[in-house]
A and B are shown apart, each in its own frame.
Chain A
Amino acid sequence: MNYNKLGNFEAICLIVVLFINHLVLNLPQMILDNSKNASILNCIYILALVLIFVLLIVKLLKNFAGLDIIDISEYLGGKFLQVLIGILCIIYLLIESSFLTRMFSKNLFLAYFNDYPISFIVFLFLFVVVVANLMGKKSIIKTNTIIVPIALFSILFTFIFVADLLRVERSLPILADGASTIFLTGASNIFAFNGLFFLFFISPLLNKKEDMPKIAYSSTLICGIFLILSIMALVFAFSDIYSVVRISPLYFIIINSKLSSFLERPEIIFIFIWTLSLMSFLSIAVMFILNIFKKMTNMKEVKTLSVAVCTIIFTLSLLIDNVFTLEKVANAFYKYGTLVLVFGIFTLVLIGANIKKRMLEKKQNINYKE
């Protein structure tokens, strides 16, 4: 009766949670801005690209079963590289969490809490995150396993409720600005799968290390399918949506659907679920920040540092005043930060570590022969 390790379902939920939060906030908007009507084709294309990338990562990680990217970077470049990669990961998670919290709080502020300052909403989020981290890793992961399926179902429901609005003709012209937008510049849209960030960290937590490929493919497919569905819903339901929507596109879908005759504003239920989802992500992000910090510093007990981490997130999230500047910076960081760190640096570290391992093994073989 030992539940210290992650099962496959728990691991998939861990990877998917970051994606869900972006999906309900700004991800469809960003893809629609880039690819317009061609977004559907673009999403299918980037899903294929990401699957190839995942295939590569899984192969590279195979030689380091039970190690995360921090351990692998230590293997490759010693303590220096470990600390460097660790700091980059912490910065990425801190900024990602801050921007997500701020943007979500901004939406809540605009929709429901005009009388409250945004800082109060952000504070409430971070208060819960501190409580979660004091409760421990197991609780956070289990809670996430409850919330992620509910959040996914809520997104699925949004598509069902707009079914009567869907018109395939609205997707025309399907190639929008041309094939190059889809296949060349559109390739950069793989940042949408930034949930893969956690793929580089879950290996030591897994119950069955050999199930890593299953987890990676399943989570990528889930993200891909939901991304395609949400883009399809937006493109088929609204003409010229990419120039209209400036708040969360999924929220926009719900407020335009006729959900029920009893509830005047049914979107509040979805906001409720997505709030849980954001809290879950924030708790996981802080949990990983503390975990990375623990590895870098060899500290034994880091739980209480969650207060400090949340204070930093609180400060960062309120750093930018202007909403438009915030949106621009957040989107830019989301896109380029993910591309550079997850698809760039992590991959390079893995390739380097594999080369080093092969060279060492060759050396050892030569020594044996001699």
Chain B
Amino acid sequence: MKIVNTFKKIFFPIEEPSHDFSLPANDDSSSSLETNKSSTAQSNSNFSNRNTTNASNIISDEFSDIKEIFPSIDVNIEYIKVKYNLLINSDIVLREFLLTARNKQYRAFLLFIDGMTDMDLVNNYVLKPLMLKNNANSFDGNQNQVVSEAVTNNITVRKVKKFNIKEYILNCLLPQNNIKQQKEFKEIFSSVNSGNCALFIDTLDIAFDIDVKGFKTRAINKPENEVVLRGPQEAFVENLRTNTSLIRRIINNENLIMENIRVGTVSKTVCSVCYMQNIANDDLVAEVKYRLNNIDIDYLVSSGQLEQLLEDNTKYSLPQIISTERPDKTSTYLLEGRVIVLVNGSPYALIVPAVFVDFLESSEDNNIKFQFANLLKIIRIASFLITLLLPGIYVAITSFHLEFIPTELLFAIVASRASVPFSIIFEIIIMELSFELIREAGLRVPSPIGPTIGIIGALIIGQSAVEAGIVSPILIIIVAITGITSFAIPDYYLAFHCRIWRFVYIIFGYLAGLLGIAFASFIHILIATKVQSFGVSYLEPYIPSKWHLSSGLFNKPIWKREKREDFLDTKKKDKQEHISMKWRS
């Protein structure tokens, strides 16, 4: 190690950071303020702002070890003001008021975020019952406090229950269905950040966490990326609770568990781990929860990010987790015994574990007859192979194995390439890159002119390139077929993987013809065999060979799908009776 360190010191000298926006340390804040003062004139314009931020940071640091709520309301207000930067934060509302309980008044305040809460709920069902005098809060209730009464020698002995304001507010004053008493600021802040409101009352060392969420969300729409003809037309949205309800509506079973885990130390994004308690393998569920609990990142904003953080092998581009926007597909996999992860703010569900054949499966397959589904699967396999190999094979054949092509076709190819001044590799890479460019540009352009880009790309550039003699017409056909077949792959990530590996095959094909394609294929197979998804071999059920235990790539008739996938090692192996169509017997 010493040698390595010395080597690093010699060849990679550690440079001092040139930026000047680092925050001061706790103990020498004054000196750092001075440093800030002595900074350049350009940075002086931002000086006051930075000082304010630094100052609040210093105060935050002083408070950093505070966990529990104070009994004094003033201290709580002060603390929250600092924590939430109330002076500069415009959407944080801290509403102070006098709470009336059993004819007595207490100082109290509500903390919530404007825009995240339902104002009607806050006004009518939180503030109104607490502030306005009414039968509930004016009633002193002494009569009801008598627990037992005994009369001995004309002396009445009454056992009276001590008045508890916490219980009184909880049971009598707040007509809400979801209220929790929290002792720690951390819990309260987390709830407020997710749209709840917090009620603090003077002299109480707890706060009430009241569910008044009411932010605007997108309505449930049709799936945009996984369109089916015969199936439900609902897709997930960004709101986690809506998504869980979409699944619950399909699976009416109490064994469906949805556990929440927060990911991201700053964003604290809620992720929901869903599984069927009586079907899913416990080890698999534990593994998913373990991985989620051990992600140490600042923020998580999408399921795409989480997917990358959960994968077994991050080096390889093969997709290892299924991502879907369809609740019906998600529910099917749940009932199969897989585990689903939903991320708040993301309209996609992640399904684990996933094997290669899953990525060739479309949501449509379960809705149509097995013969149709299998035909479509054959087409998808062919598409997968064509999109991956066709350009590479074309390069290999035209560079090394011309004798492989029938003579007439060979003449046509040679004639079409006669006016092209570039080598085949240059020609095909140019065309493939152009195609990728059109595809990428098509995504970025505003939707009204999207089709125009396609027309310009496909017709004008293609036609002009051929007429100008830059590329041969046969190559345009090759690239077009490759492009069309890539869209037949149901999974976006798998199609992306093919896009990358296509270039690898082109290069190997150019280097050593079909021998090169064989080398690239071998390495590709090696990678596929190396990849695992939550401990499951990627090429299951074929490698290791267990095809007799699983359904595999092709669909069986629906009455014959008796077993769950063997690699899932589920608690319930059978998903239907040996004879499911009992009406026939």
Q: Name A residues whose Cβ lies closer than 8 Å to a Cβ of B.
A: 1, 3, 7, 9-10, 108, 112-113, 116, 121, 124, 127-128, 131-132, 135-136, 138-140, 142-143, 145-147, 261-265, 268, 271-272, 275-276, 279-280
Contacts and interface: CB of A to CB of B under 8 A. Distances in A.
Contacts of B523: 128, 131-132
Contacts of B529: 138-139, 142-143, 146
B400 interface: yes
A120 B120 CA distance: 78
Interface string B512-537: 11111111011101110110000111
A127 B508 CA distance: 13
Contacts of B514: 112, 268, 271-272
15 contacts: A3-B537, A10-B544, A10-B545, A121-B515, A124-B512, A131-B526, A136-B530, A143-B529, A262-B406, A263-B406, A264-B407, A265-B401, A272-B514, A275-B515, A275-B519
Given A143-B522, A272-B517, A1 B567 contact: yes
B384 to A, nearest CB: 15
B404 A135 contact: no
Given A142-B544, A264-B403, A279 B513 contact: no
B539 interface: yes
Contacts of B569: 1
Contacts of B403: 264-265
Given A3-B544, A264-B407, A272-B518, A135 B526 contact: yes
B543 interface: yes
A147 B530 contact: no
Interface in B539-585: 539, 542-545, 567, 569
Contacts of A142: 529, 537, 539, 543-544
Given A112-B513, A139-B530, 11 more contacts: A10-B544, A108-B515, A112-B400, A112-B401, A121-B515, A124-B519, A127-B519, A128-B523, A139-B527, A143-B522, A143-B526
Contacts of B567: 1
B537 A276 contact: no
Contacts of A116: 512
Given A132-B526, A275-B515, A145 B543 contact: yes
A263 B542 CA distance: 30
A55 B529 CA distance: 34
Contacts of B401: 112, 265, 268
Contact of B513 (A113, A138, A280): A113
Given A265-B404, A268-B401, A275-B515, A128 B522 contact: yes
B286 to A, nearest CB: 13
A279 B543 contact: no
A285 to B, nearest CB: 15
Nearest to B522: A279
B526 A139 contact: yes
B405 interface: yes
Cβ-closest 9 pairs across A and B: A142-B529, A275-B518, A9-B545, A1-B535, A139-B530, A139-B529, A142-B543, A279-B522, A143-B525
On chain B, which size bracket covers the interface?
A: 20 to 34
B515 A147 contact: no
A142 B400 CA distance: 31
Contacts of A268: 401, 404, 514
Contacts of B404: 263-265, 268
Contacts of B517: 272
Nearest to B539: A142
A132 B522 contact: yes
A131 B520 CA distance: 11
A116 B516 CA distance: 13
B515 A138 contact: no
Nearest to A10: B544
Nearest to A121: B515
A227 B522 CA distance: 26
Contacts of A113: 400, 512-513, 515
A108 B400 CA distance: 12
Given A142-B543, A143-B529, A279 B515 contact: no
Contacts of B542: 146
Contacts of A265: 401, 403-404
Nearest to B403: A265
Given A112-B515, A145-B545, A268-B514, A1 B522 contact: no
Nearest to B281: A1
B511 to A, nearest CB: 8
B521 A146 contact: no
A288 B222 CA distance: 55
A264 B536 CA distance: 42
B525 A7 contact: no
Interface in B205-227: none
A100 to B, nearest CB: 15
A12 to B, nearest CB: 10
B405 to A, nearest CB: 6
Given A138-B530, A268-B404, A146 B518 contact: no
A99 B518 CA distance: 20
A279 B521 CA distance: 11
A3 B525 CA distance: 17
A2 to B, nearest CB: 8
Contacts of B400: 112-113
Contacts of A135: 526-527, 530
Contacts of B512: 113, 116, 121, 124
A283 B514 CA distance: 20
A157 B526 CA distance: 25
A275 B519 CA distance: 8
Interface string B375-401: 000000000000000000000000011
A5 to B, nearest CB: 9
B528 to A, nearest CB: 8
A225 to B, nearest CB: 20
B530 A276 contact: no
A128 B172 CA distance: 75
Given A7-B544, A275-B518, A147 B536 contact: no
Contacts of B543: 142, 145-146
A204 B274 CA distance: 40
Given A140-B526, A264-B407, A279 B518 contact: yes
Nearest to B283: A1
Contacts of A7: 544-545
A7 B566 CA distance: 15
A314 to B, nearest CB: 15
Contacts of B536: 1
Interface in B390-435: 400-401, 403-407
